[in-house]
Structure 1
Amino acid sequence: MKILSIDTSNYALGIGLLDDSQVMGEYISNIKKNHSVRVMPAIQTLMNECGVNPKDLTKIVVAKGPGSYTGVRIGVTIAKTLAWTLNIPMTGVSSLETLAASAGRYFNGYISPLFDARRGQIYTGLYQFKDGKLLTVESDKLVMTADWAPKLKELDRDILFIGTDLPLHRQVIKDLLGTKAQFAEVTEHNPRPAELALLGSDKPAEDPHSFVPNYIRLAEAEAKWLESQKKQ
């Protein structure tokens, strides 16, 4: 079973190819360039280098958010298009779940992946590996960092924080949690597209026509429009 994974949900761009339990290849970049321009060439390059044709693919797995509204939409649109045109199943996986799996597999505690959501807010959740499986302890949410950290202080184990946006919130977390807060190394902050593919390999297929991303909150423009409609 050859799985193509796509993650454009945040700053990093990730493409992966998984053949059963073997990672055939991964492409990861963390540079300020437009995902919409770069994602298809990245897919084509990786597939060519791995000798995989579109007809060889058996499943598409996409990071469904939360994250950048535009970034999530780009990846999901491409995944839906590929799944429909190739007539193969597709599956969405939480972008935060993917990040947690990328660095927390051997951490004996809780994992709190995070993406910056501006104004002191983060997209985050709480995960834990148990018997080799990643379990969701707290579902993905949008929360103030200053509210999230005190809640974690009540837990019985240390918490590992992961994410390229961590420097923006690290001091607040450290001040509130002290030594209970552990921070992933700089090389561990990018979500691994191979982990995304692996997580999605066992999840049920979803209809590409009805599949929707998990933005958690509305895009700013949409929220303003809805607010204006209420006033009218």
Structure 2
Amino acid sequence: MTILAIDTSNYPLGVALIEDNQVLGEYITNLKKNHSVRIMPAIQTLMKDCERTPAQLTKIVVAKGPGSYTGVRIGVTIAKTLAWSLKIPLVGVSSIEIMAAGAGRHFDGYISPLIDARRGQVYTGLYEYQSGLLTTVKEDRLVLSADWAVALREVNKPILFVGNDLPLHQAVIEETLSSQAVFAAITEHNPRPSELALLGKDKQGEDIHSFVPNYIRLAEAEAKWLEANGKILKG
């Protein structure tokens, strides 16, 4: 089984190839550059360096959001196109779950990845490793970081916070949770595409045509258009 993983859901761009139980290659950058221009050359370079051809791929795994509206859409579109043209399964994985998988594998407690969503809000969730498997404790959501920190005071374990946007919300987390909060090292903040591939390895393929990203919320422009046209009830 040769799996290609693609993640363009946020500023980090990542692609990886895993084959059976081996990571053949992995490419990650954390740059504010156009993913639509860079993702295909990154895939092509990785495939060439690993001496694999598209015909050898058996599954595509993609980060399906939440995150950047445009970034998520780019990754999902490319993943769907590749899976459809190669006639191989497509699997989507939460962008938040990927972050938890990479940083929290050896952490004895809960893991809460954070992606900034502006206006004091974050995309987040709560995860935990149990018997070597990553499990969901609280589903992914959009929430004020201050409210999230208050809610987490009720759990009885230390919490590892991870994500490149963590500095934007660290002060309010520290103020509310004190020593219960643990902060990942900077080398752990970028989501690992090899972890993405591993998370999707044993998951069932999804219907390619109906597969859609998980934005959690609508893009701001789309939400305003729907509200202006009476599609969203206020209050």
TM-score range normalised by the length of the shorter chain: over 0.9
Say how many residue pairs are matched. 232
**Which residues of 2 match residues 6-85 of structure 1 at below 5 A?**
6-85=6-85
Alpha-carbon shift at residue 171 of structure 1 (Å): 0.5
Alpha-carbon shift at residue 230 of structure 1 (Å): 1.2
Distance in 1 (CA, whole Å) between partners of 2:21 and 2:136 is: 23
Alpha-carbon shift at residue 20 of structure 1 (Å): 1.0
Q: Secondary structure at the match of 2:105?
A: coil
Distance in 2 (CA, whole Å) between partners of 1:32 and 1:115 is: 15
- Letter of the structure 2 residue corresponding to residue 223 of structure 1: A
Instruction: Deviation per CA, 1:161-189: give whole Å up to 9, x if none.
Output: 00000000000100000000000000000
1:124 corresponds to: 124
**Which residues of 2 match residues 1-232 of structure 1 at below 5 A?**
1-230=1-230
Alpha-carbon shift at residue 130 of structure 1 (Å): 0.4
Distance in 2 (CA, whole Å) between partners of 1:203 and 1:174 is: 36
Q: Secondary structure at the match of 1:102?
A: helix
- Letter of the structure 1 residue corresponding to residue 194 of structure 2: A
Instruction: Deviation per CA, 1:90-126: give whole Å up to 9, x if none.
Output: 1000000000001100000000001000000000000
Distance in 2 (CA, whole Å) between partners of 1:202 and 1:175 is: 40
Distance in 2 (CA, whole Å) between partners of 1:170 and 1:16 is: 30
Alpha-carbon shift at residue 84 of structure 1 (Å): 0.2
Distance in 2 (CA, whole Å) between partners of 1:204 and 1:160 is: 29
Alpha-carbon shift at residue 57 of structure 1 (Å): 0.2
Could you list the runs of 5+ residues in structure 1 that have no partner in the other structure? none
Could you list the runs of 5+ residues in structure 2 that have no partner in the other structure? none
Q: Secondary structure at the match of 2:139?
A: strand
Instruction: Deviation per CA, 1:16-48: give whole Å up to 9, x if none.
Output: 000011000000000111000000000000000
Instruction: Deviation per CA, 1:120-147: give whole Å up to 9, x if none.
Output: 0000000000000000000000000010
Q: Secondary structure at the match of 1:40?
A: helix
Alpha-carbon shift at residue 202 of structure 1 (Å): 1.1
Instruction: Deviation per CA, 1:63-100: give whole Å up to 9, x if none.
Output: 00000000000000000000000000010000000000
Give TM-score scaled by structure 1 length: 0.99
Distance in 1 (CA, whole Å) between partners of 2:153 and 2:63 is: 29
Q: Secondary structure at the match of 2:230?
A: helix
Q: What is the percent sequence identity of the aligned residues?
A: 70
Distance in 2 (CA, whole Å) between partners of 1:87 and 1:227 is: 39
Distance in 2 (CA, whole Å) between partners of 1:43 and 1:114 is: 27
Distance in 2 (CA, whole Å) between partners of 1:155 and 1:227 is: 37
Give the CA RMSD over aligned residues: 1.0
Distance in 1 (CA, whole Å) between partners of 2:32 and 2:137 is: 33
